[in-house]
Amino acid sequence: MTQQDYMSGFGNEFSSEDPRCPGSLPEGQNNPQVCPYGLYAEQLSGSAFTCPRPANKRSWLYRILPSVKHKPFTSVPCGDLTENWNEVEPDPNQLRWLPFTIPKTTEKKVDFVAGLHTLCGAGDAKSRNGIGVHVYTCNTSMVDRCFNNSDGDFLIVPQQGEILITTEFGKMMVEPNEICVIQQGMRFSVDVFGETRGYILEVYGAHFELPDLGPIGANGLANPRDFLCPVAWYEDRKVPTGYTVINKYQGKLFACQQDFSPFNVVAWHGNYTPYKYNLKNFMVINCVAFDHADPSIFTVLTAKSTRPGVAIADFVIFPPRWGVADHTFRPPYYHRNCMSEFMGLIKGHYEAKEEGFQPGGASLHSIMTPHGPDVDCFEKNSTAELKPQRVAEGTMAFMFESSFSMAVTKWGLHTCQKLDKNYYQCWEPLRSHFNPNWKPGKQ
C-alpha cells in the first residue's frame, strides 16, 4: 500500500468515497431519506452526543447493509483474554519476560483473535475506567470473521511480521516500527504473512490524543500530519456459510453470525477513524546540556484521566537519537515511580539493559517497585568518555505507562512460561562506591 492509500492528519474531519461509486457521500446532510446508490446511513459515535466540540468523536458510514443485521450474540470461549485481575496473588517484583512463543503453522493455525493473551491490567470495562496490556502471537489470517472491541481502544504495536488490517473505513498495512489505533466499536479483520507477534495497549473510557506541547511550542514529538487513516474500500460479498463477528464486551467474548461481509462501507465521513503512525517520524527532543530528561518527553500518544496531568496510559518510545549531556550519567536513572511501567522491545537492544531484554519480550516495573540500569550499564557509563554519541541506533523500545496499579494475569505469571525468574540478578552485583573521605573537587 502506498501513501496515496491514506489520508493524513490526526483527528481531522475526513471524507472518503470508494472510487467505484463516485458521489456516494450525501451532499449537505448526513441522513437523507434515500442515500445515493441505495445505501444505508449509520452513525458510529465515539463520544457522548453532548461532549464539547474538541472532544466530540463520530463518523457517518454509508453501507450496503447496516451492522444491525445479524443473528443474536452468544458467549464464546475467551482463551487467554481476560479482565480478571484477581486470578493470582499480587506480585510487586520486577518482572521480565523472554520473547513470547509464536505458534508454528505446522502445529496449529492461530489467527489474531485466537492469539490474544492478556498479560496485565487494572480497572473495569463496565465502569469505563481502566487498562489492559495484551500480546498477540499468530500465524494465520482471519477468514470470514472480524473483531470489534466494545470496551475500549486498541493501540497495536507490531513486533514481528506486518499485518494488513481491513476495517469498515478501509485497509491499513502496519509494519514493525509502526503502530495503529483501532478505536472502540470499529470492526476489523487481520491478515498476516507468516509467524507474527506484537503488543496491544487497551484503554477503557478514553481515547488516545496527542500530548500537549507546552513550552516546546507548536511543533515536535509526533506531528499530526504524520498520522494516516485509510480511504474507503468496500466489498459486496455474500457469505452463505456464515460470517462471524466477534465482540469483546465487558471483558468477555461473544460471537454472532451474518451472511455478508461487514466491510461494505462504500463511503464515510467524520473524525472518528482508525489510524496508523510510523515511529521513525517522531521528532525527538532531548537534553543538550546536562542531566537525563524525564521519559515523558518521548510521549507519542496519551489517554488522559480526569486528573490534570495524570494519564490512564501514555505510549512512550525510546528512538534513535544523539546523547550529548555533559558531566551526566546518560542512561535512565534509578527510579521508583507512582506509575506502572510496562516495556516492550520491537528491535535492537535497550540502552539500560543490553542483555536479557529481548525483542518480543517485555518487562513490568510496578508502582513504587525500584528499577534502573543493570550493573554493566552503570559501570560502563560511570566512566565513559562523554563525547557526542548516537543512542539506541537500530533500536526501538517502548513503554506503556499507566497511573493504574496493574495486576499480572495467571497467563503472564505461569501459563506462558516465559517469566525470567533470574531478572533480579542483573542488579545483584551492584556494589557500594561510597567513600567517606571524599572531598569536593573543583567543578
Summarised one tens digit per residue, pLDDT across range 94-131 is 999 999 999 998 899 999 999 999 999 999 999 999 99
Query: What CATH number is attached to the domain comprising 220?
Result: 2.60.120.10
User: 117 with 248, same domain?
Assistant: yes
User: 248 with 290, same domain?
Assistant: no
Task: Find the mean pLDDT for residues 367-372.
Answer: 96
435 lies in some domain: no
Per-residue pLDDT band at 382 (split at 50, 70, 90): very high
Is 292 a catalytic site residue?
yes
Return the pLDDT at 1.
Answer: 66
Task: Enter the C-alpha cell of residue 126.
Answer: 463496565
Domain count, the chain: 2
39 lies in some domain: no
Give the DSSP letter string of 406-424. PEEPHIIIIIT--B-TTGG
**HSE-up of 240 (CA within 13 Å, CB side)?**
0
The residue written with cell numbers 463496565 in the block is 126
53 lies in some domain: no
Return the pLDDT at 442.
Answer: 59
Return the pLDDT at 350.
Answer: 78
What's the domain range around 162? 70-263+273-279
Examine the pLDDT at 62 and tell me if it is beyond 90. yes
Residue 168's closest CA among 52, 46, 53, 81? 46
Neighbouring-strand partners of residue 60: 43, 269
User: 237 with 354, same domain?
Assistant: no
Return the pLDDT at 428.
Answer: 95
341 lies in some domain: yes
Return the pLDDT at 441.
Answer: 78
Residue 13 annotated as lining a ligand binding site: no
Q: Which residues in 16-55 are b (16+ Cβ under 10 Å) and which e?
A: bbbeebeebbbeeeeeeeebbeebbbbebebeeeeeeeee
Return the pLDDT at 430.
Answer: 95
User: 198 with 313, same domain?
Assistant: no
pLDDT in tens, 389-424: 999 999 999 999 999 999 999 999 999 999 999 999
User: 312 with 191, same domain?
Assistant: no
User: 259 with 287, same domain?
Assistant: no
Task: Find the mean pLDDT for residues 16-40.
Answer: 97
Per-residue pLDDT band at 349 (split at 50, 70, 90): confident
Examine the pLDDT at 443 and tell me if it is beyond 60. no
The whole-angstrom separation of Cα 157 and Cα 176 is 7
User: 311 with 395, same domain?
Assistant: yes
Residue 350 annotated as lining a ligand binding site: yes
The whole-angstrom separation of Cα 151 and Cα 168 is 18
Least confident range of 69-78, 227-236, 254-263, 376-385: 376-385
Residue 243 annotated as lining a ligand binding site: no
User: 249 with 347, same domain?
Assistant: no
User: 160 with 92, same domain?
Assistant: yes
The whole-angstrom separation of Cα 25 and Cα 157 is 33
157 lies in some domain: yes
- Please tell me the pTM assigned to this model: 0.96
User: 86 with 203, same domain?
Assistant: yes
The whole-angstrom separation of Cα 398 and Cα 412 is 19
Residue 420's closest CA among 89, 98, 94? 98
Return the pLDDT at 356.
Answer: 77
Task: Find the mean pLDDT for residues 232-260.
Answer: 97
Average pLDDT, rounded, for the chain: 95
56 lies in some domain: no
Residue 195 annotated as lining a ligand binding site: no
User: 76 with 205, same domain?
Assistant: yes
Q: Which among 134, 207, 269, 292 is annotated as catalytic?
A: 292
Q: At which of 230, 252, 279 does a domain end? A: 279
User: 234 with 318, same domain?
Assistant: no
159 lies in some domain: yes
15 lies in some domain: no
Coil, helix or strand for 117? Answer: strand
